[in-house]
Amino acid sequence: MRCEHDYHERNRYDCPPRTGDCHSGHSRRYDSDIEIHSPCGISVTDKTKDNGGIKSLLVDKSIAADVREKLLESELLNLEYKPQEFERNIALPITSEAALMNLDWFSEDTHSIASLPLSQNIGKCTPAQAIAAEIAQLFDDEAVAITDDMKELLPTKWDLFGDLAVIPKESLNSPEWNAVMKSKSGFEARVWEIICRNIKVNRLARQAEIATDNLRSSQVTMIYGDSGEVEFIDHGVKFYLDVTKVMFSSGNVTERHRIGDIDMTGECIVDAFAGIGYYTLPMLVRSNAKQVYACELNPNSIQALTRGAELNKVTDRLTILHGDNQETLPKLRNVADRVHLGILPSSEPTWRLAVDCLKNSGGILHLHMNLNDSEIDSFTKYCIDVISDYALQHCDFSSVSLLHVEKVKWYAPHIRHVVLDLRIE
Ligand SMILES: C[S@@+](CC[C@H](N)C(=O)[O-])C[C@H]1O[C@@H](n2cnc3c(N)ncnc32)[C@H](O)[C@@H]1O
């Protein structure tokens, strides 16, 4: 059942494929739609402005819709500007006079080209589309060539942490991009500024594979701005981390919210893989837990968790145990009403220790794991059998029952991140 894939979670802001047209189809996968109101359009390939006017094709109103469609098909409609009525004609902004005149359907008898004062098309478009359009314009203005391969590497998704965005590791990351960025003084900064402005952030970092060490260290590097420290709020809970030091699992957002929705008033909790407080902090802030014992190996995560607890003013209800939980969990025997085992691909090495943490009155376990979709039922049974064997034979418990199976996300093809909630009595 183990998954060999790297824990490489992606967010979060997936844009539709880049096209010449602007749609408001930009989607934020989890929380809410993000919208941007900015000029956008296809890359303008030759001069479209003339004495302040916009190169336009003037056509009779009766055929304007038809001609607009044809311009769109030929990628010659300039989406940066709005079509406008001039007496019986409609002016359709174009991207290339030369290319237009080469089209079969173009006839100088029925179509005329003029430079007209059109207004900008302030429509909704995705940040990714705006980035693509503005970068194409920058290259055009600076007479620098941009290849299709380079365009493919413009970012269409990113992780947002307050005023810092982490773009994918392949974004603007190729020998071609590296050479162009260094080709002119100040050029690189202008490219990053365009990206920052459209994503509405001040700092940019680039994603990298998460280290394969058991600390799951981040290898994210800053590319614009100095510090990777961020503070942000998710569902009323404040988090702090340095994106260059520790990873943040944005893909677990629904599970963080589910755990935070559970009423834990009066409960003592053990979080065996606390990290920066992904679950510890929601349990303290939203679930109203009485006390959380947070086990964590990585000093950078502990520093972030400590800061997060201060920001949320819950330090007095948090006890951090630094070290390997194989050594720290045995110090927490009989203290917990609930134990959280948030590690992938499997938390199995800590199952028995987790049962030992429960009070004699019993409690609840939340077990995270990666499972092949077809094995969820059989593995759930295996899990209950293993834990029942231990809880009933080695401890004084009398039953282990399944409360809930939460399918958190797809981790890889056919592999799901699953959480089993078990009650032990
Ligand atoms: C995947 S991260 C936490 C992720 C978080 N629970 C989530 O789902 O967003 C796992 C955390 O467990 C910590 N960790 C891994 N093995 C550990 C161990 N044996 N003892 C204590 N902490 C450990 C890592 O340092 C890391 O911060």
C-alpha dihedral sign at 362, 368, 369, 373: positive
Mean pLDDT computed over 68-85:
83
How far is the centre of ligand 1, averaged over its atoms, from the C-alpha of 342 (Å)? 7
Side-chain-side CA neighbours of 14 within 13 Å: the count stands at 8
pLDDT at 75: 78
Q: Which residues line ligand 1 (CB under 6 A)?
A: 214-216, 249, 252, 273, 275, 278-279, 295-298, 301, 324-325, 342-343
Per residue in 228-252, pLDDT (tens digit) is: 999 999 999 999 999 999 878 777 8
Q: Which of 41-55, 82-96, 296-310 has the highest mean pLDDT?
A: 296-310
- Res 413 pLDDT > 60: yes
pLDDT at 53: 83
Write the residue with the smallest CA distance to atom 3 of ligand 1.
275
pLDDT at 210: 65
- Res 31 pLDDT > 50: no
Task: Tell which wins on pLDDT, 166 or 39.
Answer: 166
How far is the centre of ligand 1, averaged over its atoms, from the C-alpha of 275 (Å)? 5
Angle (nearest 5°) at CA 165 between 42 and 174: 60
Query: In angstroms, rounded to a whole number, what is the distance separating the alpha carbons of residues 227 and 248?
Result: 16
pLDDT at 325: 98
pLDDT at 193: 96
Task: Tell which wins on pLDDT, 24 or 378.
Answer: 378
Banded model confidence at residue 47, pLDDT cuts 50, 70, 90: very low
Atom of ligand 1 at shortest range from CA of 342: 6
How far is the centre of ligand 1, averaged over its atoms, from the C-alpha of 301 (Å)? 9
pLDDT at 314: 98
The answer to whether 129 and 18 are in contact (CB under 8 A) is yes
**Least confident window among 7-21, 46-60, 228-242, 287-301:** 7-21
pLDDT at 139: 93
pLDDT at 384: 97
Task: List CB contacts of 69: < 8 A, sequence separation 6 or more.
Answer: none
pLDDT at 23: 28
DSSP string, 342-408: --SSB-GGGHHHHHHHB-TT-EEEEEEEEEEGGGHHHHHHHHHHHHHHHHHHTSS---EEEEEEEEE
Task: Tell which wins on pLDDT, 326 or 58.
Answer: 326
Q: Which of 5, 215, 273, 408 to mutate to test the pocket of ligand 1 (most atoms within 8 A of CB)?
A: 273
**Cα–Cα distance list, 56 to 79, 119, 120, 231 (Å):** 12, 12, 13, 48
- Res 82 pLDDT > 90: no
- Res 95 pLDDT > 50: yes
Average pLDDT score, the chain = 84
Write the residue with the smallest CA distance to atom 8 of ligand 1.
342
The partner residues of 120 in beta bridges, in order of sequence, read 81
pLDDT at 96: 87
pLDDT at 124: 63
- Res 80 pLDDT > 80: no
The answer to whether 341 and 418 are in contact (CB under 8 A) is no
Task: Tell which wins on pLDDT, 263 or 210.
Answer: 263
Which domains are delineated in the chain?
Answer: 17-124 (3.30.70.2580), 127-224 (3.30.300.110), 251-424 (3.40.50.150)
Query: What is the model's pTM?
Result: 0.71
pLDDT at 386: 97
The answer to whether 415 and 3 are in contact (CB under 8 A) is yes
One-letter amino acid for residue 333 of the chain? R
How far is the centre of ligand 1, averaged over its atoms, from the C-alpha of 164 (Å)? 24
Banded model confidence at residue 213, pLDDT cuts 50, 70, 90: low
The answer to whether 35 and 124 are in contact (CB under 8 A) is yes
- Res 35 pLDDT > 70: no
pLDDT at 282: 98
- Res 423 pLDDT > 70: yes
C-alpha dihedral sign at 200, 206, 209, 212: negative
pLDDT at 27: 23
Task: Tell which wins on pLDDT, 292 or 53.
Answer: 292
Q: Which of 11-25, 45-59, 73-87 has the highest mean pLDDT?
A: 73-87
Q: Which of 281, 297, 327 to mutate to test the pocket of ligand 1 (most atoms within 8 A of CB)?
A: 297
Banded model confidence at residue 224, pLDDT cuts 50, 70, 90: very high
Q: Which of 296, 324, 348, 406 to mutate to test the pocket of ligand 1 (most atoms within 8 A of CB)?
A: 296
Mean pLDDT computed over 391-405:
94
Mean pLDDT computed over 108-137:
83
Mean pLDDT computed over 354-373:
97
Q: Report percent pLDDT > 70 for the chain.
A: 85
pLDDT at 205: 96
pLDDT at 179: 95
- Res 13 pLDDT > 60: no
Pairing of strands 229-234, 237-242: antiparallel
pLDDT at 34: 23
How far is the centre of ligand 1, averaged over its atoms, from the C-alpha of 278 (Å)? 10
Side-chain-side CA neighbours of 160 within 13 Å: the count stands at 23
How far is the centre of ligand 1, averaged over its atoms, from the C-alpha of 392 (Å)? 28
